[in-house]
Structure 1
Amino acid sequence: MCFARLPVAEAAATDAPPNIVLIISDDQAWTDYGFMGHEAIETPNLDQLAQSGITFRRGYVPTALCRPSLATLVTGLYAHKHLITGNDPARTAANRAHAQRAGVDPRELLISNIDKHPTLPRLLAERGYLSFQCGKWWEGSYQRGGFTHGMTRGYPERGGRHGDDGLEIGRQGMQPVFDFIDTATDAGKPFFLWYAPFLPHSPHNPPERILAKYRQQGRPKSVAKYYAMCEWFDETCGQLLDRLDEKHLAENTLVIYVTDNGWIQDPQSSSYAARSKRSPYEGGIRTPIMFSWPGKLQPAERPELCSSIDIAPTILAAAGAEIPDNLPGENLLPYLQDEAVIDRDTIYGESFAHDIADIEDPRASLLHRWVIRGNDKLLLTYDGVPGKMKFPPGSDAPQLYDLEADPNEQTNLAAQEPEVVDELGNLLNEWYAVSESKVKEAGVEHDDDRPQRPNILLVFADDQRNHTLGYAGHPVVKTPNIDQLAADGVRFENTFVTTSTCWSSRACLFTGCYERKHLYQVRPGPLNPQLCQSSYFAVLKAAGYRTGHLGKEHVTIDKPSAEAMFDVRRRIGRNPYFKPQPDGTKRHETQILGDWGIEFIKSQPAEQPFCLTISFNASHAEDGDHRPGIGHYPWPKVTDGMYEDQEMPLPRLDDPAIYASQPQFLKDSINRQRYFWRWDASEKYQTNMRAYFRMISGIDHVVGRLVKQLEEQGLADNTVIIYTADNGYYLGDRGFAGKWTHYEESLRVPLVIYDPRLPTEAKGKVRQEMALNSDLASTMIDLAGETPPVAHSGRSLVPLVRGATVADWRTDFLCEFLAVPKTIPRWEGVRDTDWVYARYFVDGPGESPYEFLHSLEEDPDELVNIAMLPPDQQSAAQREALDAMRNRCDALIAEQGPAMDQLPGK
């Protein structure tokens, strides 16, 4: 829709063309400035810009994702017009076909869209402008956008995905900008500066001198870092504006400020929270927009709606350049100069999937269209190819909000005000009509090249530490089928459970939450029904998946929750392992679960994807069998004789001195009691280790059976297989058996994710990032193309599986054990990449806890407890680390649930 244009102000046409500086923040909430009233963040330079210019507090970007938002700024077009709707082209048949026809790869084909439009630098060049690009820039080299000068070399150069050398600006100083300003002024040319620094975008690594201002008790580290990044960005803006003053250029320079998209800092991680970046909600699309031109524009705060789509025509008008007829935005300059009310009360926007399903058809990735008229806001949702959004997708039903009464968009008024929905819906259709041939009942009818949703098979072992697999280098145990999954998939070297015990770990898996949040067995009763509704089973079942759980649940689930979660549910008791069969024989439960899994796969409807979890009791001991000379690990017959003549390696940390160094409460715990059941004598140890490894090899045998069945049914090429375990396991190390503690042997588990759809170069990779059992729920939902619920504490591992580098990935996690204080003291702690901290409440909450602190760099086996060293034996760095880890533990607990002394059963 084109708006009626007022004539360009006479001054702009007759005076010397102004210099134009476009400042673009990267990932910053509209609230996070001093002039917008933030209680902590200091932005004195942008505050001054707001005070000296015209500020629209109700500014918006049409698309809340960096690449399409920046493309809108440089072209003046909506994303569905410039066709750069997402950050990356998806690996779809449509994109491959388009690229093949063009004789280029899909990324180059996407970039070529920038060649089709008269960008701001090209249009300004006609008026004699020099232009400089620095910071974020996705569309190839700076020359591709028409800039005369710039920093980004561009794809396919190394690092050329979204900025390469340009991303150094601001973070590593401002000299390239200063040099360009000197070049332009020495040449007597007006200039256009694109200043889009990679700030406050992650990685959130602000200078310590700024970060120190934002550290305070109770403020999560991630929040403090983000706050400091906002100030760091503001500081660079001040350096730029000061340079204009020093060069006596400020009086003839139009400075415009906008952000590419919103950001709400997630206090639980370094990422963004729901309803911010990439969402069509206020936290994603709203931004202050400012125009400062001393002597030409009188300072004011404007109440009208303003959109970044207006920036291109306004810049061209200020420069006296021709405004293309196809630009839909409003030339605001006459309104700003004459202080007239903008003759418009409606703005529009859209959101698309992160990855572009069809480079030539934006409808294939369309997720939302939105319109704001006055204070009424309408959202319409679509069934485009899903991206990795951080907000609930809603439903096909419209969402209508009153932004004045309900600025946080909590109350959907669509049902109460259908006439407003109709009016705004008609406006949306006038603005961007999605053709009936592609849309049905507010959902996109995809072509046959839409990526098929994968089947998901989760194989869940019991009591298995990360090292007890062939691919992990174990010298004895044989697991050829799991090893093959690792060779063809992705292996996560640093995978942990947040609570090391069977039932809590399963509850964490189901719900995607910490124990502190789901509190299963801390509180009486079944698993939290509300969290069951956001479990991966319930989300995927609602999305059309056939869901199944076979085997050991060890979690009580009420009937309504179970109905929402499972299509197929077959439970199996723990002991004994050999179960009577109808023909009078006995069969090992591991093989029974293999039978059930094959039955599930055989009965799978051809057109429906499935998500199946097979939860083994193996390799858990049969605790009730204490007969001398008999192994506690009954193995299936298929592994009879394995390891019979092999000498089992002794536990590396089974040193009496290591056990002696443990506090008395651990010496008295069931970790020590069960050591005497299994590991204390040489013959007993050898017998039990052989039996234990036969159990693991029995699971591996079932994995092979399942893979074969998938191949026979033609499902193998579209089935993601995940292998992991519920907790680590002591095999005699430290003089212990079992789990339940903060040590690595207890917390660390294997994790392999095999996705047959991965390209060859992505297979066989080993990722070092921290992965958690609570990540798997979000991961499976993301694999299915759905949005992980906000309730999840975990994060999707899919970007890492696909080879991405995630700059803001976690560097620590909360670990805890809360449920059975009479058997194991309750404890809580933090593990990061350098330190492990834990505090055990031996005498109950309210008493001084017994603390542990280990340096993973200096003491990877966690043999020295720094927390219990006399103060004169602790270094300054160790004392600082102890205080920091205590505070971090407090912060993580505050994010997840009640403090220890507020838990039930204290």
Structure 2
Amino acid sequence: MRTVLVLMDTLRRDALSCYCPERGARTPNLEAFAQDSVVFDNHWIGSAPCMPARRDIMCGRYNFLERPWGPIEPFDVTLVDSLRAGGVYTCIKTDHCHYARTGGEGYLQLFNTWELFRGQEGDPWISRIDEPDNMPETFYGRVREQYQKNRETWPNEEDMPSPKTFRAACDFIDENAGDDDFFLMVEAFDPHEPFDVPDKYMEEYGGNDGLDRDYFEIPPYKRVSDTDIPQSAVDYVQRRYKALVTMTDHWFGTLVDKLKEKGVYEGTTIIVTTDHGYFLGERDYLGKNYMHLYNEHAHLPLIVKYPHGERAGERAHQLTQAIDIMPTVLEAHGCPVPETVMGTSLMPLATDADAPTRDYALFGVHAMTVNVTDGRYTYFRAPVPGNRPCYEYAAIPHTIRKKMGTDCVDQIEMGRFLSWTDYPVYKFPCTKPANIDQREDCLEEVHESKLFDLEMDYGQTHDLVGENEAAEQRMIELLKRGLTEHAAPAEQFERLGLA
């Protein structure tokens, strides 16, 4: 068996024409791929944002209930380790820069071979001390000086990191098409910000119309109304995002073409998905993480081509999440699924359209709200005032670009605090969510719990908390059940007012 997992960072569901034909970007390659595949309509985020979502994929269980952004832990039983134990060759091609930063350790090293293309976002790559020559004089949002240095090294589209990632994946197929037992992970940082895209793609979406400054590629993580960004610039960055989706679709198409050229498209399971969405001005928000996990951020694309085109062109209604990828790939390769895995294999859906998956999905950012959906309702549970008690658990005390516990050394404990592993971990008091670094009050947007009926109100504009008490109580009980079944630390119940 051959499996290919394609992860495109920050790929919004409504950007794809197979989900949203009236508003999606131009994505002919993903549209054609969807015709060969099963399109999952009820796929949800788990742990957010980037690295927490990847740990969900690699471990088949939620990261966000126990710790924020962080590395592979020494006690983790991973997808790649399990495949290698079964004799499967594993490889990753990626330009996801966070793997090379503090808090992203241990993922790449799982694979037999890995290749990382440098330069995305603020990747500390090009060692030029002086300010680069391409700094814009006027701009909206943010400009990263380091990124401006990095981008000077790719004069052509094919030199950019995500295109290089797809080209490297094509090279892997060229070299290994004769082998029939490998797992290839192709992970493009695009269409994550900065929304850096050649002009030819922007021309499809109106060019630079509406932008009255030199640059707008990195939105601030703020409400639009708290910035000086006019609606014309919001419209521009939305179009710029679509242009980058179209570019990413083009390079995805080169991989599909290579698989077909080498005669291995048939017989290969191909999974296409993302880690999370993004706000581009909707609900007055820009960015991610600091707000409730509305559908723009939490309802995600998942497209699966089963090995022999089973159920091609059909839709799947079952609830799915990133934690389901690990058992799916393991079953595809005939490898046993470890007991620690909490996800459900999607391979039975290849032959049985009614195969069960789950009846709820939990999702969240550590130390923020904990959320649950049953596919009909979404319920966002806000923490109690003070957000206490709240802890982070880790054996490797690294988080996003920093080390944990440096502000509370005298309060750190160590012990066997996680019920699902005997490995001792540190227990850190959490005073501020690690992923919220641009706001003074990290919880100001999520002080209230919210309930929405997606069948009647997919746009999530009418909050039913206090109005539909039966539905609210049912979702609370579902949330409590989920916390119990996924072995959440006991204080989560108290922190959420559910003790």
Do both share a fold (TM > 0.5)?
yes
What secondary structure does 1:716 align onto? coil
In the alignment, is residue 528 of structure 1 matched against residue 76 of structure 2?
Answer: no
Q: Provide the C-alpha distance between the structure 2 equivalents of 1:675 and 1:802, rounded to a whole number of angstroms.
A: 50
Q: Counterpart amino acid of 1:707?
A: V
Q: Which one of 515, 519, 528 corresponds to residue 67 of structure 2?
A: 519
Greater Cα offset, 769-778 or 735-744? 735-744
> Is this contact kept in 2: 1:462–1:727, CA < 8 A?
yes
Greater Cα offset, 571-580 or 495-504? 571-580
Q: Provide the C-alpha distance between the structure 2 equivalents of 1:570 and 1:765, rounded to a whole number of angstroms.
A: 35
Structure 1 match to 2:111: 565
1:715-742 per-position Cα deviation (integer Å, ceiling 9, x unaligned):
2222222111110222222111223333
Give 1:585 deviation, angstroms. 9.9
Q: Provide the C-alpha distance between the structure 2 equivalents of 1:599 and 1:830, rounded to a whole number of angstroms.
A: 41
> Is this contact kept in 2: 1:508–1:518, CA < 8 A?
no
Structure 2 match to 1:732: 281
Q: Provide the C-alpha distance between the structure 2 equivalents of 1:719 and 1:730, rounded to a whole number of angstroms.
A: 34
- C-alpha change, 1:476 and 1:779, in structure 2 (3 Å) is closer
- C-alpha change, 1:563 and 1:833, in structure 2 (3 Å) is closer
Give 1:571 deviation, angstroms. 5.0
Structure 2 match to 1:763: 312
Q: Which one of 354, 369, 375 corresponds to residue 833 of structure 1?
A: 375
Greater share of residues in helix: 1
Q: Counterpart amino acid of 1:529?
A: P
Give 1:901 deviation, angstroms. 3.3
> Is this contact kept in 2: 1:590–1:636, CA < 8 A?
no
- C-alpha change, 1:859 and 1:708, in structure 2 (3 Å) is closer
Q: Counterpart amino acid of 2:387?
A: G
Structure 2 match to 1:554: 98
In the alignment, is residue 885 of structure 1 matched against residue 475 of structure 2?
Answer: yes
1:292-319 per-position Cα deviation (integer Å, ceiling 9, x unaligned):
xxxxxxxxxxxxxxxxxxxxxxxxxxxx
Q: Which one of 593, 596, 599 corresponds to residue 165 of structure 2?
A: 593
Q: Which runs of 5 or more residues in structure 1 are unaligned?
A: 1-452, 623-632, 649-669
> Is this contact kept in 2: 1:545–1:609, CA < 8 A?
yes
Structure 2 match to 1:270: none
Structure 2 match to 1:682: 231
Structure 1 match to 2:222: 672
> Is this contact kept in 2: 1:753–1:801, CA < 8 A?
no
1:369-414 per-position Cα deviation (integer Å, ceiling 9, x unaligned):
xxxxxxxxxxxxxxxxxxxxxxxxxxxxxxxxxxxxxxxxxxxxxx
In the alignment, is residue 861 of structure 1 matched against residue 459 of structure 2?
Answer: yes
1:724-778 per-position Cα deviation (integer Å, ceiling 9, x unaligned):
111022222211122333311110111111135135xx21001111111111111
- C-alpha change, 1:673 and 1:864, in structure 2 (3 Å) is closer
State the TM-score, normalized to the length of structure 2: 0.71
Give 1:471 deviation, angstroms. 1.7
Q: Provide the C-alpha distance between the structure 2 equivalents of 1:518 and 1:787, rounded to a whole number of angstroms.
A: 25
Q: Provide the C-alpha distance between the structure 1 equivalents of 2:175 and 2:282, rounded to a whole number of angstroms.
A: 44
RMSD: 3.3
> Is this contact kept in 2: 1:507–1:520, CA < 8 A?
no
What does 1:44-55 correspond to in 2, within 5 Å? none
Structure 1 match to 2:181: 609
Q: Provide the C-alpha distance between the structure 2 equivalents of 1:536 and 1:476, rounded to a whole number of angstroms.
A: 32
Give 1:460 deviation, angstroms. 0.9
Structure 2 match to 1:745: 296
In the alignment, is residue 480 of structure 1 matched against residue 28 of structure 2?
Answer: yes
1:207-229 per-position Cα deviation (integer Å, ceiling 9, x unaligned):
xxxxxxxxxxxxxxxxxxxxxxx
- C-alpha change, 1:553 and 1:584, in structure 2 (3 Å) is closer
Higher radius of gyration, 1 or 2: 1
Q: Counterpart amino acid of 1:597?
A: A
Q: Which runs of 5 or more residues in structure 2 are unaligned?
A: 122-146, 211-219, 391-445
What secondary structure does 1:457 align onto? strand
Q: Provide the C-alpha distance between the structure 2 equivalents of 1:474 and 1:583, rounded to a whole number of angstroms.
A: 34
Q: Provide the C-alpha distance between the structure 2 equivalents of 1:711 and 1:591, rounded to a whole number of angstroms.
A: 19
Larger RCO (CA under 8 A, 6+ residues apart) = 2
> Is this contact kept in 2: 1:479–1:696, CA < 8 A?
yes
Structure 1 match to 2:485: 895
What does 1:457-468 correspond to in 2, within 5 Å? 457-468=4-15
What secondary structure does 2:245 align onto? helix
Q: Counterpart amino acid of 1:793?
A: M
1:843-893 per-position Cα deviation (integer Å, ceiling 9, x unaligned):
2125997322223344332222222x4xxxx3xxx2232222222212211
Give 1:518 deviation, angstroms. 6.2
Greater Cα offset, 579-588 or 858-867? 579-588
- C-alpha change, 1:700 and 1:676, in structure 2 (3 Å) is farther
What does 1:798-877 correspond to in 2, within 5 Å? 798-806=347-355, 808-818=356-366, 821=367, 826-841=368-383, 843-845=386-388, 850-867=448-465, 869=466, 874=467
What secondary structure does 2:266 align onto? helix
> Is this contact kept in 2: 1:518–1:527, CA < 8 A?
no
- C-alpha change, 1:851 and 1:811, in structure 2 (3 Å) is same
Structure 1 match to 2:394: none
> Is this contact kept in 2: 1:775–1:794, CA < 8 A?
yes
